Structure formats: structure tokens, C-alpha cells
Amino acid sequence: MDSLLNVLYNFEWGKFIAPAITIILGLVFYNLLQHFFKIREKRSNNAILQRQITNFIFMLFLVIAFVLALPIKDSLQSQIIGLIGILLSASIALSSTTFLGNLMAGIWLRSVKNFRVGDLVEIGTHFGRITTRGLLHIEIQNRERDLVTLPNMYLVTNPVTVMHNNGTIISTEISLGYDVDHSIIEPLLLEAVEKAGLENPFVYIESLGDFSIVYKVHGLVKEINTMLSARSKLNACVLDEIHKADIEIVSPSFMNQRQVNEQTFIPTQRRYKNKNHITPENVIFDKAERAEKLDDMRKKAQELDEEITHLKKKLKDENDAETKTKIQQQIDKLVERQTRMHQYVKNKEKEVNKEGKDE
């Protein structure tokens, strides 16, 4: 017992003061960082990404600082730090196409800012609206209403087409025989575009086949959120206009083989009304719609935070008591509104993130 006490008494505890202080300060600064980003998450959409990157860098520097503070020889410290560098380099090299590759791709996509939540995009063979932008992936809702998760590396290695917010061009093709002159067809197709509610119509003669001519008609749809239903309506209007002009949309081979006593295949037109008035986009992209509205609400919350900060600064510089009272009352109202808005955004985030997933 006495020998153990002598060992503890003669032990050089002072050598471990620096490592202990390093750990304590590291924990204090780490908690301050978490508190800072918790506040920042209310004001910025990129706070989660910034928080994760900052935490990674901070922990790396904390480990290096702890090694430097250890009471060991300089040569051993250099070897340990060198080992950390080798492990980090190996991780980057081995994971560049997976975890770290997606991380770097996510940072690059954030810096480019070519799309946001709610945008209609076409990525490789995938088409849909963006519902989530994560650190390593994005999530889109496709035509079948399903949720598709794409890693950020896929976005970097494939062309990303973002539908223009002010409108995009949609088109449809139709092939007709050489027996009908193109000067008759083109006005009919232009009329179909106008009846479909599209703007700036134009027609291409896409190709001249052995038995038919392929026409491609285009029109500008202003509301990109209705693009799918607009394309369907365009097809219907093209059918109506061609049939009104007594022009059959059948191939010459079919005409030569049939025996129907010269009967023409043009259906009788009937008026059809959609009693429910439900557009496909309302059903297909429901989560994307809510995610876009939530993103807009985040921006409004950020603008509200900036307005409160501006008023607090104005209150500090104001000398008139009556004016200060009015400014303070305005701040109190905005703070109350800010609290409700942040709570609303928090609740909606949980709803959107859980949608389509069994939890």
C-alpha cells in the first residue's frame, strides 16, 4: 500500500495538465459550435451542411492538438501525426467514389446553386421534382409519385436539366402520309397549340420517311408545374384538329391492307368534362409541392430574422423614448410571429421527411 502511494506521489501529474486542458477546451468549444449552428439553422438552409463539415474539421484539429499536448517525445508525436495524415489520405483515396466523393459532389452542387427544392429536373433517365437536398444525396418524386434517391456523384457524372421557372417548351410528334400537303398540316398544328393554351407555337418537319412525314409541334408552357397535363392536352388538341380536317392518322401500310368499304377512321367528337378538376401534377408531385412551400417558408423565416436584427440595431441607436417604445412593440410582435413560424417550419419538416417512409 505504501509503495503504491509513493508511486502516485512521485508521479509527474503536471505533464497531463496540458492534455486535460486541451480536452476540456475542446469540449467547451464543441458545445459552443453546436449552440451556434442550432441558432443558425433557423436562418440558413445550408446550416446542416455547414455544421457537419465544421464538426469534422474541428474534431480533426482537436485530435492533432491532443497529440501535440501529450507528454511524449517529439519524434513519436511526428509519427502519430504522420499516421493520422496517412489514414486521412487513404480514406480520401479509398472513399472518393463513395462517401467522400458524394460529400465533395454535394459541396460543389451547393456552390453552383443550379437547382432548389421543388424544381422540375431531368437527371440522366430520371425525371421528377426535387423533394430533398441532403449532404450526400437528393430525393426526387417521379411521374409515378414514387420517391427516388440519387447520390450526388450521379448528379456530377450525368447531365442535369432544370426546367426554366419562367416556362419551358413542350412538344409532340405526329407522322402523316405524303398524300396531305405540309401547308395544310402546319396551320392545323399551330391551331392545336393555341387551343392547348400554349404560347409561341412553331412546327418542325422532323424527318421524311419512306412512307410518312414526321411533324413536331412545339409550344411554350408558362406554368411548369402543369407540364405533364399540358403535354397531354396538346396531344388531345392535335388529334382534334387533324380529325376536324378529315385527315386520318394511319400509316399507308394499314390503309393498303384493310377492307372496310372505304370507311374512314375518324372518331366522332364528344365533349368531355373532368368533373373532379384534378390535374395529374397535384397527385404525382404532392410531396415536392409541400417541400417547395416549406423551402419558401424557411426563406420567409430568414427574412423575418433579418428584419428583427435590423430593428434591434435601430432600437439601440435611437434616442427618442417614444420612438424606442414603438420600435420595441414592433419587435415584440415580430418575435412572437418568429416563434410561431419556426415551430410551424419544424413541424412541417418532420411531416415532409416522414412522408413516403415507414417509421
CATH second-level architecture of 168-281? 2-Layer Sandwich (3.30)
What is the predicted pLDDT for the residue at 359?
Answer: 46
The answer to which of 18-22, 180-184, 265-269, 302-306 has the lowest mean pLDDT is 265-269
CB burial of 59-91 (b: ≥16 within 10 Å; e: otherwise) equals: eeebeeebbebeeeeeeeeeebeeeeeeeeeee
**By the 8 A CB rule, do 283 and 145 touch?**
yes
What is the predicted pLDDT for the residue at 216?
Answer: 92
**Crossing angle, helix 47-69 and helix 74-95, to 10 degrees?**
150
pLDDT in tens, 67-115: 777 777 777 777 877 887 777 777 666 655 677 777 788 888 887 777 8
**Among 3.40.50.410, 2.60.40.10, 2.30.30.60, 1.10.287.1080, what is the CATH number of 104-162?**
2.30.30.60
pLDDT in tens, 317-335: 777 777 878 888 888 888 8
**How high is the mean pLDDT of the chain?**
77
β strands within the chain, DSSP E: 120-123, 126-133, 137-142, 147-151, 160-162, 168-177, 199-208, 212-221
pLDDT band at 215 (very low <50, low <70, confident <90, very high): very high
Average pLDDT over residues 281-304: 72
pLDDT in tens, 108-162: 888 777 788 888 888 888 888 888 887 788 888 888 888 888 888 888 888 888 8
* The two domains 104-162 and 168-281 share their CATH topology (first three levels equal): no
Domain ranges of the chain: 13-86, 104-162, 168-281, 285-354
CA nearest to 22, candidates 59, 47, 54, 51 = 59
What is the predicted pLDDT for the residue at 41?
Answer: 65
pTM of the predicted structure, to 2 decimals: 0.52
Continuous H helices in 41-98: 47-69, 74-95
CA nearest to 249, candidates 230, 270, 267 = 267
pLDDT band at 7 (very low <50, low <70, confident <90, very high): very low
pLDDT band at 283 (very low <50, low <70, confident <90, very high): low
Average pLDDT over residues 180-209: 88
